Amino acid sequence: MGAEDIIRAVTSEAWGSQPSSTSAGASPSAALRQVLLWASRRRSIKRVIISAPVTRDVVRRFVAGETIDDALRVTRALSGDGLQVSLDHLGEDTLDTGTARAAVDAYRSLAQRLSDEGLAAGTEMSVKLSAVGQALDESLALDNARLICEAARAAGSSVTIDMEDHTTTDSTLRIVDLVRRDFPSTGAVLQASLHRTEEDCRTLGMPGSRVRLCKGAYQEPASLAWQRPDDIRAAYVRCLGTLITGRALPMAATHDPQLVEATGRLVSEIAGPGFKHEYQMLYGIRPDEQHRLVAAGETVRVYVPFGVQWYGYLMRRMAERPANTALFLRALVSRN
């Protein structure tokens, strides 16, 4: 059976092979997700949420803390459990050069601390280009990304460039391509929910190319992105199969049990034993599954955010799982 046959079989058995292009019949949880994603970009709602008496424990379910010391504390604990780490200094939509420069300085300091504490080898840094000036000037974001990559390389660490909403996809992929000329280990991120991503996987799916594949955590229009969960899952499998077929290094970023299982099957049946890949999951979500995979001999990397700008990140995590939303709302009610 060829790779395309395997991809079709895995997709068809789990979700059916014919995707839908509409969001007809959306569930209440899907509607809630849309509201939360909308709220993640609204400053007026942000002010209300940030000023609410949310306990530190609620935020720290998903965020390591506000400082580099907090990030290193969590990194040490996860590393001790056999997990690898991706550290994200929270920040996005930067609109001034000073803030962008501060983000670069934070990453450079983080890289040095990782080296000093012997944590660099199993830890990468995840960088959102909008945090380092992408909205101001693409060349500024490129220069700043290179500075972070230089610091990571000197420390013995690496960098993955995060992906944000569809309006930045072309710019982000251009910058990744340029950065990789000097720093070829730099990871890219693709979002399976976007219609364009299968073609992007064919472009990036080459030997040595590190690609984190996620479903996508942004509210995107139906004209550009799959809306139904099963359609997104099916697209994820097709994209992952393309990366594996191209002998890229796929980093399957998912908590979905069906996609975790599909990833293992695709790797086994398309690439065979010894094919390098990893699973990635978010800090605070499905830790038992993270440990189960490690015990099974898999490489698992935990995405650990830290910093004071936690609002947008937290709202997107609420949107991903109703259980997360319930946890957050219970904390609000209990403190009020």
Its pTM surpasses 0.85: no
Cα–Cα distance, 258 to 274 (Å, whole number): 22
**What is the reported pLDDT for 309?**
76
The number of beta carbons lying within 10 Å of the beta carbon of residue 187 is 21
The structural domains of the chain, with segments of one domain joined by +, span: 3-335
Choose, from 33, 108, 210, 212, the residue flagged as catalytic.
212
Question: Which pLDDT score, from 0 to 100, does residue 207 have?
Answer: 97
Per-residue pLDDT, 329: 56
Name the strand (E) or helix (H) holding 290: helix 287-295
Tell how many helices (H) and how many strands (E) occur in the chain: 14, 8
Rounded to 10 degrees, the C-alpha dihedral 219/220/222/228 comes to -50
Between CA 213 and CA 249, with CA 290 as vertex, the angle to 5 degrees is 35
What residues contact 303, with CB distance under 8 A and at least 6 apart? Answer: 86, 88, 126, 253, 280, 281, 282, 283
Does residue 162 have an active-site annotation? yes
The string of DSSP letters for 95-161 reads: -SHHHHHHHHHHHHHHHHHHHHTT-STTEEEEE-GGGGTTTT-HHHHHHHHHHHHHHHHHHT-EEEE
Q: Which residue has the tokens 């599909």?
A: 262
CA distance 78 to 131: 26
286 is known as an active-site residue: no
Q: What is the helix (H) or strand (E) element at residue 314, kind and residue range?
A: helix 311-320
> Which architecture does CATH list for 3-335?
Alpha-Beta Barrel (3.20)
Provide the pLDDT for residue 272: 94
Query: What stretches in the chain show pLDDT beneath 70?
Result: 1-3, 5-7, 9-59, 311-313, 315-336
pLDDT in tens, 158-194: 999 999 999 999 999 999 999 999 999 999 999 999 9
Look up residue 267 and give its DSSP letter.
I
Q: Residue 317: what pLDDT?
A: 63
pLDDT digits (tens, 9 = 90+) for 71-113: 999 999 999 999 999 999 998 788 899 999 999 999 999 999 9
* Beta carbons of 123 and 84 less than 8 angstroms apart: yes
